[in-house]
Structures are given as C-alpha cells and as structure tokens.
Chain A
Amino acid sequence: MTDDERCDWCEEVLQPFLDRNLTDAERQEAEEHLQKCKYCRKRYHFEEGLRLLMRLAEPMAPALKKRLSELRLEL
C-alpha cells in the first residue's frame, strides 16, 4: 500500500475502529499508521471528541425524575 492508500484505508476503518469491531491485526495496522500519520491522527481524535460530545446531552430535569417515581404502582 502507498501512503495515500493507507490513509484511504484508515478513513474506511475509522468507524469500526471506534466501535472496537476490527480484528487485532487490523487494529494494529491502523494504530501503526496513526503513529506515523498526523493527517489521520487528527481526524481520529476529532471523531473521538465528536462521539464524546454526542454523549454529553443535557441531563434529565429533576422534575421529570420525580414524575417518573410517582408513576410507580401503589403497594
């Protein structure tokens, strides 16, 4: 693989990499490339940050939590 091809391959495996769905050999290959390639490394960091941002949704309102407790059946 040329360097460009390796970057293309890394772009293709970005999602399965973050989903932890690569084989050990594929993962190692991606990690080796990321160590050498700043272009791909920046984009992987960005993607990790984006996933974290998605998970940081606003928390549930305390009033809703109380309403949910009130839905419990009477004993």
Chain B
Amino acid sequence: MSETSENEARRLAEDARDRVNFEEEALALADQVYRVARGVSRSKEEAEDLMQETYARAFRSWQSYTPGTNLRAWLLRILTNLNIDRGRRAQRAPDQQPLEEGDYFLYNRIEDVTGETDEERVLERLSQDHVAEALSAVPHDFRDVVVLVDIGDFSYADAAQILDIPIGTVMSRLHRGRRILKKELAEVAVET
C-alpha cells in the first residue's frame, strides 16, 4: 500500500469511529429529545414521526456537529426546524388576548372549585393527560419555549439558540405561554 492510500485508509477508519461515537451519543439522548418532541406534538404518532425525521437528518448531517458542544441542543434545533418546516405553525398566536391572571390563578381556581385546601390534594386534581391536553392548546410559538424550558430544562439562553430567537423573546413567550397553559389547565382540570 502506498503512503497516500494508507493515510486515506486511516482517515476513513477515524471517520467511521467518530461517526459511530456520534450516533451512540445521539441515541443515548433519545429519551430526553422525545420528551420535547411529545410536548410540541399533538399526538404520540406525530411525536414518533418527528423523532424519526430528526434522527434521520442528524445521522445524515453528523459532520456539521462540532464535537464537545451541546449535542442535545443541536438535536433539538433540528427537531424544532423540522417542526416549523412541517407547517405546524399555521395557528396564529393570540397576542392580543388579555391574560391578566397572576401566577396563583390555577391553584386558587382548583381550590375554589373543589374545596381542597391541601396543596398535595390540589395537585392531585391534575394528571399527565391534563397537562398534555392543555399543552396542545397553547399556540406553537409559546408552547415551544415552555416545552424547552419547563420540560427540557434548558436555560433561557439555550432555548434562544435552539429556536433562533432573542433571549428577551424567550422570556416574554415563556411568561405568556405559562399563563396560557395555566388557563387551559384550569379549564380541563375543573371540567373533570
């Protein structure tokens, strides 16, 4: 073997090893990525499709990932871009809808309606299904931020980078998104 082809073979072997490492690291994060996918999707099926598209794209474009940087954020950036591409943004954000209730609103509402005065019992009035249903009613722009910060546990700065929006926008959408979520939760929790 000539020196050039030996170098070429070594380079190919290194590439393959890097790629396998990348794929394994990405798969190890799948549970965390899925939680976000589920939060931004209307159904489990939609979340599963979104996961498969995300991972297919990630595996194809692995060379654009810089090792040592935040892989979870990189994967979620692909996921949120795919979600935008798939036209799930048609719903318009109700920017002008008044939402003046404070942050104690949800608690007070459940307490008033059920007569429960113990906070554990008040919380028991809410289920994972209620949360999923309420989240699906939050407009996408707001929901994405709430899901990344409250479910994905990302900082405001990471969420801003993933969604490619200014940090101030993250904060205002988070504030509003949480209020909308609570309003929806109050409705679904009190109905049942």
Contacts and interface: CB of A to CB of B under 8 A. Distances in A.
Interface residue tally on B, bucketed by range: 35 or more
A12 B102 contact: yes
B126 A43 contact: no
A68 interface: yes
B113 interface: no
Interface residues of A, number: 33
Determine the main DSSP class of B at the interface with A.
Answer: helix
Interface of A: 8, 11-12, 14-15, 19, 21, 42-43, 45-47, 49-51, 53-61, 64-65, 67-69, 71-73, 75
Interface string B77-88: 000000000000
Contacts, number: 96
A37 B106 CA distance: 19
Interface string B88-111: 000000000000001110110000
Interface in B39-71: 39, 44, 48, 51-52, 55-56, 59-60
Nearest to B52: A67
B59 A73 contact: yes
A60 B150 contact: no
A71 B35 CA distance: 20
A58 B38 contact: yes
Contacts of A59: 31, 34
B123 A54 contact: no
A57 B151 contact: yes
The 4 closest A-B pairs by CB, nearest first: A60-B34, A49-B123, A42-B119, A14-B103
B35 A55 contact: yes
A12 B119 contact: no
Contact of B128 (A43, A53, A73): A53
